[in-house]
Chain A
């Protein structure tokens, strides 16, 4: 009986401790890593598929299924342009793979904003789910949360730092590569962003991108892209979407 009383007392203490801190910190205040600033993609991988529009039918490395292959083989950039869909290659599943600079800033205390030079796109990463999803868009609806190191546990010896996880749905169908390699509107995108600081002072972002899309892919499609921190945004030069 006495043991039960102790347990109840302990539970109450722990619970009270949680309340003493008041409202939980905002996503901005709780950020375990600072992602803000201007970053440039450094293209040391997949160069000939990223730094130019690859030839039609070149979908090396992408686990396309039959439907995906068929769609890729039917790519027609002129048709996309005529339909006003030049931004298909700049959708959320591909945008972090595009060469160019990105600018990351806090839009408000619960929304991180990523702007891209490539296609002049804007992504909003919501730490609080929006009340309404809205219409599907090129950049979809993204829900973000911090992944605290050590599983988020506090205490002696707990590791610091962490990463950002983003899950995106509600997107318009687009291209994984500019040459029409497709993903569908039903795709689900999971991303992790990590940050490093090197001994020479260089700062890097590592963006791991996982695309799940049974409509176009035989398995998930995972890539990782890296961005180097640049001192300022003076070279910022956004370009419009282009279908070819």
Chain B
């Protein structure tokens, strides 16, 4: 090809080629303009304003009992708005783009507001995390182009709010967004779907204006003691006692029925016909089944979570071997052991190359081969429940305890199997079961117990200290929290669950106040990383991976329900009357159950009983059957 031919070739290319990704650029500084709902968005919404939101009755009940003072709690002060609400908040927005240096494709947009976390919206095709991974304020966002519109799918949201006057949005919600740019106006359509607190998708559209001079300033946030209050006190109105729910309607001369919200109020026909959809009482969600088999969820560093074995299992796997918190159900142990072997086989245990001064050993000796995995060495039982300790016997048999010196060196079988650690009351319960329970086989019983407030492993394990903390009279009389101090992970056992109200095993010494104390203890041990998320991670007895913000929501809920039942007891109500009053109504679609091993009625009864309901003296915590 001569010069002129080459020139022609490039000319044709230049005139006909269209970049495959000639999409709209959303990056820039966007200023909120409060052309809609200014009174709600800037000063803040009024109490009792539920207009135009398709809320469920549970959401309405929850908002009616919401006390704004809850935002003074330490766990609430630095929370940002969630991904769905923050578009509507009073805050500047910066959108930046992440570009692959090779292909120069946009691989992500990042959105940040005045008081937000960095919200990444991935365009690189990555999948969403497993369902039980950590939820965050921003959730996890992926996007695809739909013409010039960017359609974003958001999952893994923490609980948030639909309007910042107490109208809740659950952590079961998902969000779809459509980003539309028309010149210097950005319009974002948000569609929230929430099976707990919405009866229909909640759709809003919000506009921002490009502002070339805008800066998003820093927004550090420090937690302070805003109000003196008793430890563990959670501000909330008892149902039916909030005097402010109709203030909004009165002030603005609006029909009270309209201000109560609901899907009807979104549609024009509400004006002519009024409410056509009856308000249905909250009900427990339909039972769901977990996917079969064991799922492995990386938590942090060399700590993993195994789901699907009964209760959650926490595993530290590394050069020292394996430490498990709980062993799952007996019938799941083969699958648990398979999962552990898989984790071990993925480890790189090869000797690290020697640096300078290698005078006694040479890295040549290892031939760069993988040494055999170290055994399962410890099982820590958070309780004696069969879904947590049922696998003890078989898993113990698959492990090994190293003995010698002053560590039971003269006992012949001391090295057989892994050590099982637990609070002394777990051993007592396994040794002296209640009527109808089977005595645990010897090899399923704890080999090492503690009776003090806590115990520590006497040395680092897989590079960190591990502390086992007793929580008296909580789920049972023998609960332990296990704190991985280096990884900053707490395995909470059944004191904390994301799938049900806390299981209070009254027969085995559990009490509602013990559970609340346990939750507060987890919060005392926890430090958030940024904006009240991340940092200390908490593995519940059942359900998804959490952090302190999730535990705080749960603590708030349990405390509020305790307070409601206590108020009913104080009025002299019988257990049947308390159940009939449905004190759990607003949380029912999230945590309730009408069948299965732990129903709402069983929970209410346990709360009522352990608060001394029915004029009977509150049962003292079951006597510690071991050492005093």
Given A55-B253, A159-B22, A206-B205 in contact, is the A61-B36 Cβ separation under 8 Å?
Answer: yes
Distance (Å) between the CB of A193 and the closest chain B CB?
10
Determine whether B18 belongs to the interface, using a CB cutoff of 8 Å to chain A.
yes
Determine whether B219 belongs to the interface, using a CB cutoff of 8 Å to chain A.
no
When chains A and B are docked, how far (Å) is the Cα of A10 from the Cα of B267?
Answer: 57
Q: Which 9 residue pairs spanning A and B have beta carbons closest together? A: A161-B147, A157-B20, A149-B147, A99-B268, A224-B205, A155-B18, A61-B38, A47-B51, A47-B52
Contact between A42 and B148, CB atoms less than 8 A apart: no
Which chain A positions have C-beta within 8 A of B203? 42, 44, 204, 226, 228
- Between-chain CB contacts (< 8 Å), 9 pairs: A43-B268, A61-B38, A153-B22, A160-B147, A165-B182, A192-B182, A194-B149, A206-B189, A208-B180
Determine whether B4 belongs to the interface, using a CB cutoff of 8 Å to chain A.
yes
Determine whether A143 belongs to the interface, using a CB cutoff of 8 Å to chain B.
no
Determine whether A75 belongs to the interface, using a CB cutoff of 8 Å to chain B.
no
Given A3-B7, A45-B37, A208-B180 in contact, is the A158-B18 Cβ separation under 8 Å?
Answer: yes
Q: Give per-residue flags for B247-270: 1 if the beta carbon is below 8 A from chain A beta carbons, else 0.
A: 000001110001000000111111
Contact between A2 and B268, CB atoms less than 8 A apart: no
For window 162-201 of B, CB contacts with A under 8 Å fall at: 176, 178, 180, 182, 185, 187, 189, 191, 201
Determine whether B458 belongs to the interface, using a CB cutoff of 8 Å to chain A.
no
Contact between B206 and A224, CB atoms less than 8 A apart: yes
With beta carbons under 8 angstroms apart, the residue of B7, B52, B148, B149 that contacts A45 is: B52
When chains A and B are docked, how far (Å) is the Cα of A197 from the Cα of B49?
Answer: 30
A-B contacts counted at CB < 8 A amount to 171
Q: Give per-residue flags for A35-75: 1 if the beta carbon is below 8 A from chain B beta carbons, else 0.
A: 00000111111111001100100001111000000000000
Which chain B positions have C-beta within 8 A of A63? 35
Residues of A in contact (CB 8 Å), total 63
When chains A and B are docked, how far (Å) is the Cα of A208 from the Cα of B187?
Answer: 7
Contact between A159 and B23, CB atoms less than 8 A apart: yes
Determine whether A162 belongs to the interface, using a CB cutoff of 8 Å to chain B.
yes
When chains A and B are docked, how far (Å) is the Cα of A95 from the Cα of B265?
Answer: 20
Which chain A positions have C-beta within 8 A of B324? none
Interface size of B as a range: 35 or more
When chains A and B are docked, how far (Å) is the Cα of A62 from the Cα of B258?
Answer: 24
With beta carbons under 8 angstroms apart, the residue of B35, B52, B176 that contacts A61 is: B35
Contact between A198 and B191, CB atoms less than 8 A apart: yes
Given A99-B271, A196-B189 in contact, is the A48-B252 Cβ separation under 8 Å?
Answer: yes
Contact between B176 and A206, CB atoms less than 8 A apart: no
Contact between A161 and B148, CB atoms less than 8 A apart: yes
Given contacts A61-B39, A206-B189, A225-B205, 8 further A-B contacts (CB under 8 A): A43-B267, A44-B52, A44-B53, A48-B51, A55-B253, A156-B20, A157-B18, A221-B35
When chains A and B are docked, how far (Å) is the Cα of A194 from the Cα of B4?
Answer: 46
For window 496-532 of B, CB contacts with A under 8 Å fall at: none
Contact between A161 and B149, CB atoms less than 8 A apart: yes
With beta carbons under 8 angstroms apart, the residue of B11, B23, B178, B254 that contacts A6 is: B11
Which chain A positions have C-beta within 8 A of B36? 45-46, 61, 223-224
Which of B15, B145, B147 has the most CB atoms of chain A within a 10 A radius of its CB?
A: B147
Determine whether B300 belongs to the interface, using a CB cutoff of 8 Å to chain A.
no
Contact between B52 and A6, CB atoms less than 8 A apart: no
Contact between B15 and A14, CB atoms less than 8 A apart: yes
Determine whether B110 belongs to the interface, using a CB cutoff of 8 Å to chain A.
no
When chains A and B are docked, how far (Å) is the Cα of A73 from the Cα of B185?
Answer: 30
When chains A and B are docked, how far (Å) is the Cα of A199 from the Cα of B20?
Answer: 25
Which chain A positions have C-beta within 8 A of B4? 2-3, 6
Which chain B positions have C-beta within 8 A of A223? 35-36, 207
Determine whether B346 belongs to the interface, using a CB cutoff of 8 Å to chain A.
no
When chains A and B are docked, how far (Å) is the Cα of A163 from the Cα of B178?
Answer: 13
Contact between B15 and A153, CB atoms less than 8 A apart: no
Which chain B positions have C-beta within 8 A of A162? 147-148
Given A150-B22, A158-B22, A208-B180 in contact, is the A42-B266 Cβ separation under 8 Å?
Answer: yes
With beta carbons under 8 angstroms apart, the residue of B51, B145, B147, B202 that contacts A32 is: B147
When chains A and B are docked, how far (Å) is the Cα of A117 from the Cα of B272?
Answer: 13
Contact between A222 and B35, CB atoms less than 8 A apart: yes
Query: Closest chain A residue to B261 by CB distance?
Result: A47
When chains A and B are docked, how far (Å) is the Cα of A134 from the Cα of B11?
Answer: 48
Which chain B positions have C-beta within 8 A of A221? 35
Which chain A positions have C-beta within 8 A of B176? 198-199
Which chain B positions have C-beta within 8 A of A10? 8, 11-12, 15
Q: Give per-residue flags for A130-167: 1 if the beta carbon is below 8 A from chain B beta carbons, else 0.
A: 00000000000000000101110111111111110100
